[in-house]
């Protein structure tokens, strides 16, 4: 029986805006997520008194976290990835003093995790920032946002220094290229230059958070978080192979800066070729030298790249505009399922950076059917996760250092891309539906028992 290394962290990952609800409770301010009711690719809709959106309640984790954490503990979790909602701490983003009620909420959450021996892994910003900073300052387009973020990061590091030793800066930082409002608080029609300038500010802020974390909590480790967007060449035509290399550079760029502390040459060339001129100060260059301790990433699928424009045209509108791989099956949402790709990606990242890796999201979004007796037989989810975890085990055998695995959405939550509840990832079912109906009751799916066995056997049951 092959098991995972001792101390491997097993668990799940959730994000504040997809689970908490309570979107104005205890002094919380509006975030970009609150004004994107249709999800991360959706339009901004200004809130008016009395309106409501699915995320306003989400799965009510804000109030139900003790019960949910007890269920995670029952599965044997040793780790839970959560995010802090920046707007609970600084409601508008630019206040001088934090909101005590927001800080107190996460104290209680971390205490509850500690009571169950579950290690928190905390993302500072998961697909949301204060809406006030977007409206008044232009989001990450404005250099001032770096200072606001640093103040927020220092505040939470100081407050939770004895409770949280594993941190992540920005969720899927490379997603800003596909969803600028969600990533950097810029309008979708922003130019590439504006988006990259905002990204530069965010990369500086990420590095300043790393520095602050090391100063304030010397025994903590802090990582980045990438959308692991591995792509393959559609054919072995050399032009396709090079196009795939360049496409992989679009996400590796973020990891390169965060791990190496400097902009890579291929990116400087791309900026030159595309007449993009960024303002990068000496102070910024110095800040970027604070590099991360480990790399975390999400993995759901792979895609293909081709220089054939007819095929590319057809792919427009697919998730991330990728050309489908003819050798892979897709989920109900068109995400191509590729367990071996996870082993490849782990090896690629390890070869490139030689830093520990943490898989902080992976999972299958699917519609679940509740049987007459209340059971949910989600064998499709078990198969997906089992196949991926077998490949993680292979990568570890390949010599890759993997710190842990937190599957995405261990409890059903609101999906990010389209703000749906019918796209479910959980081991725990939540009785709530796209139209807002449902009791919010929790129940165990078949996969709950499967994951419990995986964790209890440290991967030996796979
Ligand atoms: C990642 C995000 O992109 O994918 C999560 O970090 C998100 O927030 C997850 O929920 C799955 O995407 P979706 O659209 O199915 O929720």
Q: Which residues contact 136 (CB under 8 A, 6 or more apart)?
A: 92, 94
8 A C-beta contact, residue 171 and residue 363: no
CATH of the domain at 427: 3.20.20.80
8 A C-beta contact, residue 87 and residue 125: no
Please report the DSSP string for 229-242 in residue order: --EEESSS-HHHHH
Of residues 47 and 254, more confidence is placed in 254
Ligand 1: distance of its center to the CA of 62 in Å?
19
Strands 428-430 and 442-444: antiparallel
Residue 98 confidence class, pLDDT cut points 50, 70, 90: very high
Q: Which residues contact 66 (CB under 8 A, 6 or more apart)?
A: 112
175 DSSP assignment: G
Q: Is 15 in the pocket of ligand 1 (CB under 6 A)?
A: yes
Q: How many CA atoms, within 13 angstroms, populate the side-chain half-sphere of residue 445?
A: 25
Residue 314 confidence class, pLDDT cut points 50, 70, 90: confident
Residue 34 confidence class, pLDDT cut points 50, 70, 90: very high
Mutate to test the pocket of ligand 1, among 416, 418, 419, 422 (most ligand atoms within 8 A of CB): 416
- Region 328-339: mean pLDDT is 93
Domain that holds residue 159: 9-457
Which numbered atom of ligand 1 lies nearest the CA of 425?
Answer: 15
8 A C-beta contact, residue 109 and residue 118: no
- Calculate the alpha carbon distances from 389 to 11, 94, 315 in Å: 13, 42, 29
Count of H-run helices and E-run strands, the chain: 16, 12
By alpha-carbon position, which residue is closest to atom 15 of ligand 1?
415
Asked whether the predicted pLDDT for residue 211 surpasses 70, the reply is yes
Average pLDDT, the chain: 96
- Region 200-204: mean pLDDT is 98
What is the rounded CA–CA span in Å between residue 358 and residue 119?
14
Ligand 1: distance of its center to the CA of 300 in Å?
9
List the structure tokens of 159. 């407050």
- Region 366-388: mean pLDDT is 98
Q: Which residues contact 238 (CB under 8 A, 6 or more apart)?
A: none
Asked whether the predicted pLDDT for residue 48 surpasses 90, the reply is no
pLDDT, residue 319, reads: 62
Residue 107 confidence class, pLDDT cut points 50, 70, 90: very high
In a domain, 151, yes or no: yes
Asked whether the predicted pLDDT for residue 454 surpasses 80, the reply is yes
Element holding 305 (H helix, E strand): strand 303-305
In a domain, 2, yes or no: no
Q: Is 296 in the pocket of ligand 1 (CB under 6 A)?
A: no
Ligand 1: distance of its center to the CA of 417 in Å?
6
Which numbered atom of ligand 1 lies nearest the CA of 225?
Answer: 6
Q: Is 415 in the pocket of ligand 1 (CB under 6 A)?
A: yes
- Calculate the alpha carbon distances from 302 to 213, 229, 233, 268, 326 in Å: 33, 6, 11, 26, 12
Q: Is 171 in the pocket of ligand 1 (CB under 6 A)?
A: yes
Q: Which residues contact 439 (CB under 8 A, 6 or more apart)?
A: 431, 432
pLDDT, residue 317, reads: 65
List the structure tokens of 296. 């975390």
ipTM score: 0.99
List the structure tokens of 172. 């899927």
Give the residue among 82, 81, 85 at the shortest CA–CA distance from 31: 85
Per-residue model confidence as pLDDT tens digits over 404-429: 999 999 999 999 999 999 999 999 99
Give me the residue label for tokens 């490379």: 174
Judged by DSSP in three states, 341 sits in helix
> Which runs of consecutive H residues, i.e. helices, occur in 263-418?
265-273, 282-288, 309-315, 339-353, 379-397
Instruction: Give the residue numbers annotated as catalytic, written as ranges.
Output: 172, 361
In a domain, 102, yes or no: yes
Q: Which of 128-132, 233-237, 308-312, 384-388 has the lowest mean pLDDT?
A: 308-312
Q: What are phi and psi of 224, to 5 degrees?
A: -95, -175
Paired with 224 in beta bridges are: 295
8 A C-beta contact, residue 122 and residue 47: no
How many structural domains compose the chain?
1
Strands 357-361 and 303-305: unpaired
- Region 375-395: mean pLDDT is 98
Strands 428-430 and 79-83: unpaired
Q: What percent of the chain has pLDDT over 90?
A: 94
Q: Is 417 in the pocket of ligand 1 (CB under 6 A)?
A: yes
Residue 94 confidence class, pLDDT cut points 50, 70, 90: very high
In a domain, 357, yes or no: yes
Give the residue among 214, 163, 168, 210 at the shortest CA–CA distance from 13: 168
Q: Is 88 in the pocket of ligand 1 (CB under 6 A)?
A: no
8 A C-beta contact, residue 88 and residue 22: no
Tally of CB atoms within 10 A around 48 = 6
In a domain, 114, yes or no: yes
What is the rounded CA–CA span in Å between residue 41 and residue 45?
12
Ligand 1: distance of its center to the CA of 273 in Å?
33
In a domain, 4, yes or no: no
List the structure tokens of 91. 């409601």
In a domain, 236, yes or no: yes
In a domain, 1, yes or no: no
Q: What percent of the chain has pLDDT over 70?
A: 99
- Region 358-380: mean pLDDT is 98
Q: Is 77 in the pocket of ligand 1 (CB under 6 A)?
A: no
Please report the DSSP string for 35-72 in residue order: G-TT-TTSPP----TT---HHHHTT-HHHHHHHHHHHH
């Amino acid at each position: 029986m092959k098991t995972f290394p001792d101390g491997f962290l097993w668990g799940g990952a959730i994000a504040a805006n997809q689970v908490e609800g309570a979107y104005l409770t205890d002094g919380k301010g509006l975030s970009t997520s609150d004004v994107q009711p249709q999800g991360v690719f959706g339009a901004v809709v200004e809130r008016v008194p009395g309106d409501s959106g699915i995320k306003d309640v989400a799965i009510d984790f804000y109030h139900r976290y003790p019960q949910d954490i007890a269920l995670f503990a029952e599965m044997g979790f040793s780790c839970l990835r959560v995010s802090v909602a920046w707007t609970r701490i600084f409601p508008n983003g630019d206040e001088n003093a934090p909101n005590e009620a927001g800080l107190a909420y996460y104290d209680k959450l971390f205490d509850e995790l500690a009571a169950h021996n579950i290690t928190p892994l905390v993302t500072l910003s998961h697909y949301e920032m204060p809406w006030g900073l977007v409206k008044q300052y232009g989001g990450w387009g404005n250099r001032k946002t770096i200072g606001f973020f640093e103040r927020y990061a220092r505040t939470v590091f100081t407050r939770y220094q004895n409770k949280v030793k594993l941190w992540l800066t920005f969720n899927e930082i490379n997603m800003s290229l596909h969803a600028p409002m969600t990533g950097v608080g810029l309008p979708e029609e922003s130019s590439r230059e504006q988006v990259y300038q905002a990204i530069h500010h965010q990369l500086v802020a990420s590095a300043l958070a790393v520095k602050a974390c090391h100063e304030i909590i010397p025994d903590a480790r802090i990582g980045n978080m990438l959308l692991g967007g591995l792509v393959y060449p559609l054919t072995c035509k050399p032009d396709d192979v090079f196009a795939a290399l360049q496409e992989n550079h679009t996400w590796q760029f973020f990891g390169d800066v965060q791990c190496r502390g400097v902009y890579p040459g291929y990116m400087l060339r791309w900026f030159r070729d595309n007449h993009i001129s960024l303002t990068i100060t000496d102070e910024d260059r110095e800040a970027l030298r604070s590099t991360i301790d480990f790399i975390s990433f999400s993995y759901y699928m792979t895609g293909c790249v081709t220089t054939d424009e007819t095929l590319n045209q057809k792919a427009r509108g697919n998730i991330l505009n990728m050309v489908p791989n003819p050798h892979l099956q897709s989920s109900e949402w068109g995400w191509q399922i590729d367990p071996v790709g996870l082993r490849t990606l782990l090896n690629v990242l390890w070869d490139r950076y030689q830093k520990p890796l943490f898989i902080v999201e992976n999972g299958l979004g699917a519609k679940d059917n509740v049987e007459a007796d209340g059971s949910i037989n989600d064998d499709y989810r078990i198969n997906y996760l089992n196949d991926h975890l077998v490949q993680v085990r292979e990568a570890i055998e390949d010599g890759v250092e993997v710190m842990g695995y937190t599957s995405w959405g261990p409890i059903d939550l609101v999906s990010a891309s389209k703000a749906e509840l019918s796209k479910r990832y959980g081991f725990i079912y939540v009785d709530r539906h796209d139209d807002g109906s449902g009791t919010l009751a929790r129940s165990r799916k078949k996969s709950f028992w499967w994951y419990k066995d995986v964790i209890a056997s440290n991967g030996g049951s796979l």
